[in-house]
């Protein structure tokens, strides 16, 4: 701030007050004067004063009391005290409470001016530091706002990215599911069947257990489609798949091989008799009536059985054995399907063209 600051001179001796006012005005300071502490305090409150030069002993309020009151509102005020008394204790008290300097009267103006200059430089430095602190605080606040904004943007971007990843993962999962499952029944398809069969064979070999493969062919599905339409035929296939799923264990696999063929992988089935019992049970499950167009319809199934390790240890070999057994079963001439007593006149007419062996109550 140099020599352009503001200065308040307080002294109850008018000649000293006027002399100092004149000298400091010549030095380009903005000078205020007061003859007592009360007036001086009022001036301090009303004006932006940098340096206080005050007599330490005055009637009423002392210079120290005035300084203490002003420090409550203006902590950077620089105070220089002068006194005609050699009161060392008061001088020490003033310095302890924040005074910059203490000078004896008669005042050496050059000495006082140097003290005022020092005070101006000090307050300039304090205010410069305060300004830098404010700038740093403002910078930090702006930085924090920027960081908060950027963090929010990154969080939003991350949320979008996670959503995109989730959508892609769901799409991949859906594609993977579709690649391994029959679209009509939701059962395992040929591809997944082979994976499950390879795994089941390795598990059976490792644990020295048996395994049964049941190839199921529904009899008369074409006639069902002709009589009730392909939509109802698909409903029947879906229901068959659900029944098979509910009739097997969690460790078993139910797959649709396509068309009217289903296949079961039954783990820990060690003999043909057990496989036969399961096959008969599956036939009974399938032969339970279905509801198509409000009518009860029953169909039959032909089942071929192949056992590991008796019939082979490879997927293709076991499939061929099961397929051969299934065709042998079909040659026995089981009825394809039959309607219940709810069969109406229109359906009876269709019944006349049903394959040989169809049954109607």
CA–CA separation, 357 and 3 (whole Å): 124
Determine the pLDDT at residue 350: 36
Compute how many other C-beta atoms are within 10 angstroms of the C-beta atom of residue 289: 14
42-79 pLDDT, tens digit per residue, is 898 888 889 989 888 888 888 888 888 877 777 778 88
All structural domains of the chain, each given as residue ranges with its CATH number in brackets, are 6-131 (3.40.50.2300), 190-360 (3.30.70.270)
330-359 pLDDT, tens digit per residue, is 887 654 444 443 334 333 333 323 333 333
Q: For 181, which DSSP code? A: B
Helix (H, G, I), strand (E, B) or coil at 199: helix
Q: Alpha-carbon dihedral of residues 306, 308, 314, 320, nearest 10 degrees?
A: -10
Q: Where are the alpha helices (DSSP H) in 72-187?
A: 88-96, 109-180
Question: To which residue do tokens 């219940």 refer?
Answer: 340
Tokens representing residue 248 in the block: 């097997």
Closest Cα to residue 5, out of 123, 103, 102, 112?
Answer: 123
Compute how many other C-beta atoms are within 10 angstroms of the C-beta atom of residue 57: 16
184-196 pLDDT, tens digit per residue, is 999 999 999 999 9
pLDDT confidence bin for 255, thresholds 50/70/90: very high
Q: What value does the mean pLDDT take over residues 305-323? A: 94
Q: Where are the alpha helices (DSSP H) in 181-296?
A: 190-207, 221-228, 230-247, 272-287
List C-alpha distances in Å: 105 to 63, 87, 109, 113, 291: 15, 12, 10, 14, 122
For residue 172, the Cα-to-chain-centroid distance in whole angstroms is: 21
Q: Is residue 331 within 8 Å of residue 268, measured between CB atoms?
A: no
Q: What value does the mean pLDDT take over residues 134-161? A: 91
CA–CA separation, 292 and 229 (whole Å): 10
């Amino acid at each position: 701030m140099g020599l352009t600051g503001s200065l308040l001179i307080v002294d109850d001796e008018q000649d000293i007050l006027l002399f100092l006012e004149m000298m400091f005005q010549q030095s380009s300071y903005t000078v205020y004067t007061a003859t007592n502490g009360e007036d001086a305090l009022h001036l301090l409150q009303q004006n932006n004063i940098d340096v206080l030069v005050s007599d330490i002993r005055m009637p009423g309020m002392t210079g120290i009391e005035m300084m203490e009151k002003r420090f409550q509102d203006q902590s950077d005020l620089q105070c220089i005290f002068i006194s005609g008394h050699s009161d060392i204790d008061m001088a020490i008290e003033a310095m302890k409470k924040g005074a910059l300097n203490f000078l004896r009267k008669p005042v050496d103006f050059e000495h006082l001016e140097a003290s005022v200059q020092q005070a101006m430089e000090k307050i300039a430095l304090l205010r410069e530091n305060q300004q830098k602190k404010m700038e740093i605080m403002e910078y930090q606040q702006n930085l924090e706002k920027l960081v908060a904004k950027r963090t929010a943007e990154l969080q939003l971007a991350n949320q979008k990215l996670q959503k995109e990843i989730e959508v892609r993962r769901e799409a991949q999962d859906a594609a993977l599911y579709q690649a391994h499952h029959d679209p009509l029944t939701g059962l395992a398809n040929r591809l997944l069947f082979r994976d499950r069969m390879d795994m089941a064979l390795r598990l059976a070999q490792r644990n020295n257990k048996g395994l049964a493969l049941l190839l199921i062919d529904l009899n008369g599905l074409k006639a069902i489609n002709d009589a009730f339409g392909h939509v109802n035929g698909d409903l029947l296939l879906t229901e068959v798949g659900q029944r098979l799923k509910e009739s097997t264990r969690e460790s078993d696999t139910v797959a649709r091989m396509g068309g009217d063929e289903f296949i079961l992988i039954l783990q820990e089935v060690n003999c043909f008799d057990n496989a036969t019992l399961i096959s008969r049970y599956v036939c009974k499950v399938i032969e339970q009536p279905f509801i198509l167009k409000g009518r009860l319809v029953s169909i039959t199934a032909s089942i071929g059985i192949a056992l590991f390790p008796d019939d082979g240890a490879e997927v293709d070999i076991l499939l061929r054995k099961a397929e051969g057994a299934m065709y042998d079963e079909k040659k026995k001439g089981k009825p394809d399907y039959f309607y219940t007593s709810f069969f109406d006149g229109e359906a009876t007419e269709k019944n006349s063209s049903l394959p040989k062996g169809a049954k109607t109550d």
